[in-house]
Every structure is written in structure tokens, then in C-alpha cells.
Structure 1
């Protein structure tokens, strides 16, 4: 950490074993000052306001105020700590993005993944100290990973590895090569959360990675069809036909 001050960290988790595991992991990290542990949302808000931590490691599913509510309650232009959600559930990722969390960790927390999250938190805190009064931005404003369920448990999927996203009722299917996973997000939230330099929405039920598009053709009715790198096709919705021209630079 060099001459940087220690990161003051507050843990908020209603599961004693989960909180203890985080404490043990933090004890192995350098430059950390654990200032307290809260066991519910209300106490997390009170302790955050009293102790003014730099970072809040925050569970989401807690009795009373949940983690999303806590993040909203402590948000402020000058004193809002970096929020890192730590949860056993993947369906809250978009909600976490909306409250400007700097990272989102899945339980059981991987030590290397925790170190990455703390690195993002340090960048947040550094910017806040250098530019007081300005709301710090996240290290990246775009979703960079997803967690999806499969038969073995939870799988981490890097956003830049996703070829395309298709809607299936209340779920979105992430297509990565020949495999796919369902996640419980909305298409609109994904469109807002994914980097527009990497992804483009071509239909009300489809988002495609830009470099996965091999070209465009028109069908007999004049509608655009995107030809995909795997040989598949994706119809372009009428409302999204302007995206074809922007991608082709026309």
C-alpha cells in the first residue's frame, strides 16, 4: 500500500460464520483496519454513520433493512463508503449496480477475488480523498461479470465472454460458445449495465457482442438480419435498425 492510509472496513452480515470467515480473510490482507461488525441492516446504518468506514462489506439478504436498502441509506456526496456486496445469491447483481456498488462477491468468498474487490475499493477511496465533494465513480461503470446457477453450484461468467443474450420470459439466457446459462435480470437493465462499446441491442429480446457480428443481410421483406460468428442469425427489430447503420459506419 505504500504511504496510503489503512482501509477502514465495516462488515455487515447476519450470519455469524460468514462474518467470521470474512474477518479471517481480512486478517491475511495488508493495509486493513476492521472497525466493526454489524449483524443486521439497521445496525449497519448506525455503525456506518458513527464509524465512517472507508469500505462496507455488506450482505444483501438480511432481516429488516436488506443490503440494498442499507446502501441507499448511507449514500451521500461526501461520506458514502465504498460498498462491496457479499452474498449467496446471484439475482441481486443488477440492483447492486444501480446503487453504485464497487463490487459484488459471491459466498463463499474467494481470497483472490476479495483482494480484487479491495483494490477497487482503494481506487474509490483514493478518488474521494483527492476530490472531496465529488461522488467517486466505480473503477468500471459497466458490469464485468455474472454469476449463474448450474448443477455444480454457481458459475462466474465474464461479461466480455458472452456472445449474445436472449430473453426467455422473466429470465435472460447468456450464450457463451456452445453453453448457456439463465440469469434473473431484465433486458433493459442488462442493456444499461453492459458496456456499449462491447455490446449492442438488436431486438427487444436480444443483445449481441459487437465483435460476434459477422455481417448483415436483408430478408425478402427488407428486414435486417445479423449474421453471427457461429453461423447463426439474429433478426434486427424495426426499432433497432439504426444500430445496423452505426455498426457499419453508414
Structure 2
């Protein structure tokens, strides 16, 4: 891949200068412009066609979320990494599909990781666009990824990596190996959005990846219990007993 063309948008001169200094220490990147507010960020992005926008959230006029939304409506919109002093915008950043979410003052190593993530994102989307152009009829209608917040910012989680989902009030916990993340979704929305050939709902508060189910047994009350690949068990709700028979081919 050629040098990654980057635009910085931040109304704080010292913060923008810090990002410039950090970018100089990263290979294969080119800073093509700096904007001081949202309107200038949109105009500069349309002029310079950057691959990546390092975008502050709280700016006068158009804020960073509005800038990302405006640019996403055009063709070849840049990838976005939000850089902010506030963590309350994480959900909004998810909604505009930001590549990463960095907290000020930006750490050099975290910025480098975010830049690498942006490269991967850009390459994968370029490949996906190529595939779509050739195989438009093979687009998947199912959810393929999620964004969840953690102490480092935002984490991208591939749907195929999820072992199971458990409900926690208004949130869903995505379990991936020994780690888990909370997202603000309803169980019904997840069940409708995840590929039913890969995921099955076994309880009103549980979705499980089909190949994560090792087997089924009955408990003392005669209810079905799913044995999972990690050694844990998941009770099967009475309303979902037919899923057991469907999976077992009975």
C-alpha cells in the first residue's frame, strides 16, 4: 500500500501539533492538511481525498460526528479515527463506523495501533468493494461485526468470532473466548440480525453460535441443557426446545 494520506481536524492547535509530531514517527503516512473546525474538515477532505481523517469530536460549528456523517454520504469517504478528551461519544462513534477512538492526550503507541487498524480497514474495504462490483448478488444481509467500548477506546468484534451472547438488562454481552464486551442491543434485534445458519437462540436471554454447542442433555426437571465447547452449560428455554430437535435433526 502507498503512503496513507491523512487529514487532522482539531480546533485545539496544541492537540493538532501533537498529532503532527506523532505522525512523523510513523512510517508510510503523509499529512496532507489540517482543519480547525468541522466545515473546514469537510471541505479539506473533499479537496485532498485523504485515506484517513484524525477527527476531534467537540469542535465549533459541525462537530466530529456530523463531519463523519456528511463525508460518509460521498463516494470513497475516508476512514475515521476519533480523537477526543471525552469518552461519552463512543456509541455515536460506533454509529458512524469509526475505525478507532483515541483519548487525549494521545499515546504514541495507541496512535500507531490505530493507524495500522485503519490500513487494514481500508484494504479490506477496497477488496470488499472489488468483490461487490463483481458479485453484487452475493451481498450478505446479516450483521458481520460490532463495535464495543473498553478502556482503550473501541473494539471491533467480528460476528463469526462470537461464541455466545447473554442478556444483561438493556445490554447484550458478547462472549469471545475468555473475554466479553457489552453492547447496547436488544436480543430480538440480534436474533434477527445474526445469520440463523450460524447462531441459534436457546433462551430468551441467550444466543449461541451453532458450532459452539457440543451437545445436549436433560436436567433433573427434564429440561434441555446445552453443553458448550468451553465446558459451560446453557439452559434451553421451554419456548426454544424445538431448536434442540432442529439442531439434532429430529
Asked whether the two chains share a fold, i.e. TM above 0.5, the reply is yes
1:169 aligns with 2:160: no
Match of 1:207 in 2: 207
The 5 A counterparts of 1:1-250 are 1=1, 4=2, 6-62=3-59, 64-76=61-73, 78-86=75-83, 89=87, 92=90, 95-101=92-98, 103-107=99-103, 108-109=106-107, 110-123=110-123, 127=127, 142-143=144-145, 146-149=148-151, 163-175=163-175, 183-187=182-186, 200-217=200-217, 224-228=224-228, 229-236=230-237, 238=239, 244=244, 248=248
Distance 1:54 1:231, change over 3 A: closer
Taking the aligned partners of 2:129 and 2:178, their CA distance within structure 1 comes to 46
Consecutive unaligned residues in structure 1, runs of 5 or more: none
Taking the aligned partners of 1:114 and 1:51, their CA distance within structure 2 comes to 21
Q: Is the 8 A contact 1:12 1:37 kept in 2?
A: yes
Q: Is the 8 A contact 2:100 2:154 kept in 1?
A: no
Greater gyration radius: 2
> Which secondary structure state, in structure 1, belongs to the residue aligned with residue 114 of structure 2?
helix
> Which secondary structure state, in structure 2, belongs to the residue aligned with residue 74 of structure 1?
helix
Q: Is the 8 A contact 2:102 2:111 kept in 1?
A: no
TM-score, normalised to structure 2, is: 0.65
Taking the aligned partners of 1:190 and 1:90, their CA distance within structure 2 comes to 24
Greater shift, 109-118 or 189-198, is seen at: 189-198
TM-score, normalised to structure 1, is: 0.65
Q: Is the 8 A contact 1:148 1:157 kept in 2?
A: no
Distance 1:27 1:200, change over 3 A: farther
